[in-house]
């Protein structure tokens, strides 16, 4: 499982021109890629890591605070293209992305785990939908975490 985390000043997800998730304050947008081998252990690792990453400034301007420390918003969006293989040719292969019947329940579990850690609902996209995701990346700060690359 992969998370691409972006520190934001604002973010939104639109489907068919309708905002389904919005944040107009400090937060993170998490794009989530799921593989067929992913388990609850991957979810636990990534959710804990994402919510404890010290990527927000303290009073001295040092990135020393987490999303939990600053009380920021989280928007999470499923994005199978994060699992793209690009070693051969110019057309990305998505063979490493989990099929929807595997990925959607895992995505739902990620959302539940993030909400539990944050202590309140988070914004989400809609699994499998054509979405328009917009954000103001603060910093810019963008962090890539792969649960299979822990060591």
The yes-or-no answer on residue 81 being catalytic is: yes
Catalytic residue among 3, 8, 56, 80: 80
Catalytic residue among 8, 51, 79, 124: 79
Query: 35: which 2 tokens?
Result: 């593989």
The yes-or-no answer on residue 51 being catalytic is: no
Catalytic residue among 81, 86, 124, 142: 81
Give CA–CA dist 31/5, Å, rounded: 7
- Are 31 and 50 in contact by the 8 Å Cβ rule? The answer is no
Pick from 41, 44, 8: nearest CA to 123: 8
Query: 30: which 2 tokens?
Result: 């998490």
Query: 4: which 2 tokens?
Result: 């691409």
The catalytic residue positions are 79-81
């Amino acid at each position: 499982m992969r998370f691409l985390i972006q520190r934001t000043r604002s973010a939104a997800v639109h489907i068919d021109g309708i905002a389904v998730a919005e944040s107009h304050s400090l937060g993170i947008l998490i794009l989530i890629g799921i593989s067929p081998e992913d388990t609850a252990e991957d979810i636990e690792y990534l959710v804990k890591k994402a919510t404890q990453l010290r990527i927000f400034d303290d009073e001295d301007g040092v990135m020393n605070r987490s999303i939990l420390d600053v009380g920021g918003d989280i928007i999470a969006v499923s994005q199978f293209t994060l699992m793209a293989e690009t070693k051969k040719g110019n057309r990305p292969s998505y063979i490493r992305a989990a099929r929807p019947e595997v990925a959607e329940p895992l995505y739902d579990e990620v959302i539940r785990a993030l909400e539990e850690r944050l202590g309140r609902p988070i914004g989400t996209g809609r699994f499998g939908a054509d979405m328009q995701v917009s954000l103001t990346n603060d910093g810019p700060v963008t962090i890539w975490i792969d649960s299979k690359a822990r060591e």
